[in-house]
Amino acid sequence: MSILPTISFAKPTTIKKGVAILLAGEGALQDGQGGDIDPSGVLVRAAETATFKGKKKESFNVLAPHGSAAERIIVIGIGKLDELTNADWLAFGGVAKAMVGDAPIVTLLPHDAMGADEASLLAQGFWLRAYSFKKYKKTPKPGDKEERKGQKLTIQCADAAAAKKKWGDDEGVARGVMLARDLVNEPANILGPEEFASRAGALDALGVDVEILTEKDMKKLGMGALLGVAQGSVRPPRMVVMKWNGGKAKDKPIAFIGKGVTFDTGGISIKPSAGMEDMKGDMGGAAAVTGLMHALAARKAKVNVIGIIGLVENMPDANAQRPGDIVTSMSGQTIEVINTDAEGRLVLADALTYCGEKYKPQMMINLATLTGAIMVALGKHYAGLFSNNDDLAAQLTAAGEATGERVWRMPIGPEYDKMIDSKFADMKNIGGRWGGSCTAAQFLKRFVGETPWAHLDIAGTAMASPANDINTSWGSGYGVRLLDQLVADVYEA
Ligand code: BES
Ligand code: MN
Ligand code: ZN
């Protein structure tokens, strides 16, 4: 992981050195606003020269004004003050990080619109933007800038104590996001099912109870759908159950389930080679669940949570399953495997059944890089949301707007159900050319019973999504903040 800036919060005071960051609302940079960091009053003129209007995320940079204790002043626009969302404050933090680079001492000056919660969000945005995955960049090239270490960001705000307390939570969430990014960025030779499971096992340090099911355990449980996918790989599958008991003992848990295909070649229905390297990220759902468990445990969420991830590698091999094979899932339902590349739903089928039967959760949400078709439908800015419960769908949509990890509801229904009926078995694992994301969701629905459930198809958002203010990494960590927000808003309220 990247070297993260040290964050602190302080009451407003005069600064002595380093880079100063000033926030300015729309049209609000006035004479004297720079105070003692701008004794000669250059900022207003500099803003004019830069045609700075204080619009959201607009910015400019001034070098060492005469008589200032700051070496550099950066002004960042925050737009209309009555319109600011949490996602905006995160973005301002990200813009701030991009502007200051590796400058060792950075102070963000107070602003009336920035209370304790906003200050903490800003710090979170700064951190998330600071993330980069350089683990395998070992040999510096001539001309490379040496990464400076030990950046310190101080955020000045009136209620510094409250900001610090909030950061205690937000820091945990940021670390959860970065854990998910690390897992997605890691190549598949390093991170197979066993290695992923042992990384998840490390969550016990935070008080998460982690149980790892082996192939033998899964055979006993009758998980024929998951095991059929795994049988083409020399690397054995794993299922990891993570439990966080932060609620009352009698409270039914909520559950999150993730697709963890550590590499998806397609199996015997092999994928074309161009771009196949991206399939190291086919465990983005499992990464999000693991990152979420980290986040919830780190901030000691007052709720009982189960996280389950199904970990397999989908390979073509002499022992791999064939198109036409019929497998029996843990639920007892049989599946004709028409296409071995539609493997994620096979893994999830058994993970969902296991979760529902064993833990009887009040609600289940699964995350999966499930279909290429979801990107055709929605592009890479929204995850596809499928649900059997309108309240849950609305709550997820609201959490998406609040965090900027947006979802868009897609349909399920009897028409799609018919498309996956099979000639030989209870169902087949693909539904034909049209509505590929919908038939995949419909398949999953056959394994959730009456439990309120949502499926998030994150094929477009978990990896290789366009860089933004708070993420420049290939693996985005999508889903961790979204679900953390949902838990806080709905299940801890
Ligand atoms: N892991 C893929 C989906 C995917 C594709 C994720 C591109 C991210 C980027 C999934 O296992 C898959 O192969 N789906 C097939 C389904 C098809 C065989 C019905 C697809 O989308 O082509
Ligand atoms: Mn596949
Ligand atoms: Zn896949």
From the list 464, 282, 284, 460, the residue with the least C-alpha distance to 380 is 460
User: Is the CB of residue 342 below 6 angstroms from any atom belonging to ligand 1?
Assistant: yes
Give CA–CA dist 208/253, Å, rounded: 14
Tell me: pLDDT of 411 over 90: yes
Report which ligand 1 atom has the smallest distance to the Cα of 343: 11
User: Is the CB of residue 369 below 6 angstroms from any atom belonging to ligand 1?
Assistant: yes
> Mean per-residue pLDDT for 29-52?
85
- 32-41, 129-138, 484-493: range with lowest mean pLDDT: 32-41
User: Is the CB of residue 413 below 6 angstroms from any atom belonging to ligand 1?
Assistant: no
pLDDT digits (tens, 9 = 90+) for 189-204: 999 999 999 999 999 9
Please report the DSSP string for 288-351 in residue order.
Answer: HHHHHHHHHHHTT-SSEEEEEEEEEEE---TTS--TTEEEE-TTS-EEEES-TT--HHHHHHHH
Q: What is the pLDDT of residue 3?
A: 80
Ligand of minimum distance to the alpha carbon of 460: 1
Q: What is the pLDDT of residue 140?
A: 84
* Annotated active-site residue in 345, 406, 446, 481: 345
Tell me: pLDDT of 1 over 60: no
User: Is the CB of residue 264 below 6 angstroms from any atom belonging to ligand 1?
Assistant: yes
User: Is the CB of residue 373 below 6 angstroms from any atom belonging to ligand 1?
Assistant: yes
- Whole-model pTM: value is 0.98
pLDDT digits (tens, 9 = 90+) for 278-333: 999 999 999 999 999 999 999 999 999 999 999 999 999 999 999 999 999 999 99
The DSSP code for 381 is: S
pLDDT above 70: percentage of residues in the chain: 99
Only one residue has tokens 């979801």, namely: 374
Going from the Cα of 388 to the center of ligand 3, the distance in angstroms, rounded, reads 23
Going from the Cα of 354 to the center of ligand 2, the distance in angstroms, rounded, reads 22
The DSSP code for 51 is: T
> Mean per-residue pLDDT for 2-11?
92
pLDDT digits (tens, 9 = 90+) for 445-482: 999 999 999 999 999 999 998 999 999 999 999 999 99
Report which ligand 1 atom has the smallest distance to the Cα of 462: 8
* Annotated active-site residue in 80, 152, 235, 271: 271
Q: Is 433 a catalytic residue?
A: no
- If pLDDT is split at 50, 70 and 90, which confidence band does 141 have? confident
- If pLDDT is split at 50, 70 and 90, which confidence band does 36 have? confident
The DSSP code for 164 is: H
| CB-CB contact of 449 with 352 (8 Å) | no
Report which ligand 1 atom has the smallest distance to the Cα of 436: 19
> Mean per-residue pLDDT for 475-492?
98
Q: Is 271 a catalytic residue?
A: yes
Report which ligand 1 atom has the smallest distance to the Cα of 429: 19
Going from the Cα of 449 to the center of ligand 2, the distance in angstroms, rounded, reads 25
User: Is the CB of residue 430 below 6 angstroms from any atom belonging to ligand 1?
Assistant: yes
Backbone angles phi, psi at 158, to 5 degrees: -55, -45
User: Is the CB of residue 341 below 6 angstroms from any atom belonging to ligand 1?
Assistant: yes
SS3 call for 136: coil
Going from the Cα of 68 to the center of ligand 2, the distance in angstroms, rounded, reads 59
Ligand of minimum distance to the alpha carbon of 266: 2
User: Is the CB of residue 343 below 6 angstroms from any atom belonging to ligand 1?
Assistant: yes
Going from the Cα of 366 to the center of ligand 3, the distance in angstroms, rounded, reads 14
Tell me: pLDDT of 28 over 80: no
Report which ligand 1 atom has the smallest distance to the Cα of 463: 8
Q: What is the pLDDT of residue 2?
A: 66
> Mean per-residue pLDDT for 43-54?
92
Q: What is the pLDDT of residue 455?
A: 99
Q: Whose CA is closest to atom 16 on ligand 1?
A: 342
Q: Whose CA is closest to atom 7 on ligand 1?
A: 372
Q: What is the pLDDT of residue 148?
A: 67
Going from the Cα of 181 to the center of ligand 2, the distance in angstroms, rounded, reads 21
Strand 407-409, strand 325-328: pairing: unpaired
User: Is the CB of residue 432 below 6 angstroms from any atom belonging to ligand 1?
Assistant: no
Q: Whose CA is closest to atom 17 on ligand 1?
A: 342
pLDDT digits (tens, 9 = 90+) for 254-274: 999 999 999 999 999 999 999
Going from the Cα of 271 to the center of ligand 1, the distance in angstroms, rounded, reads 9
User: Is the CB of residue 168 below 6 angstroms from any atom belonging to ligand 1?
Assistant: no
Q: What is the mean pLDDT of the chain?
A: 96
Tell me: pLDDT of 64 over 90: no
> Mean per-residue pLDDT for 123-148?
89
Report which ligand 1 atom has the smallest distance to the Cα of 264: 1
User: Is the CB of residue 457 below 6 angstroms from any atom belonging to ligand 1?
Assistant: no
Strand 334-337, strand 325-328: pairing: antiparallel
CB within 8 Å of 376: residues ≥ 6 apart: none
Task: Provide the greatest CA pair distance for the chain.
Answer: 83
Going from the Cα of 98 to the center of ligand 3, the distance in angstroms, rounded, reads 34
User: Is the CB of residue 282 below 6 angstroms from any atom belonging to ligand 1?
Assistant: yes
Tokens of 145: 């800038």
Q: Whose CA is closest to atom 22 on ligand 1?
A: 372
Q: What is the pLDDT of residue 143?
A: 79
Give CA–CA dist 100/53, Å, rounded: 20
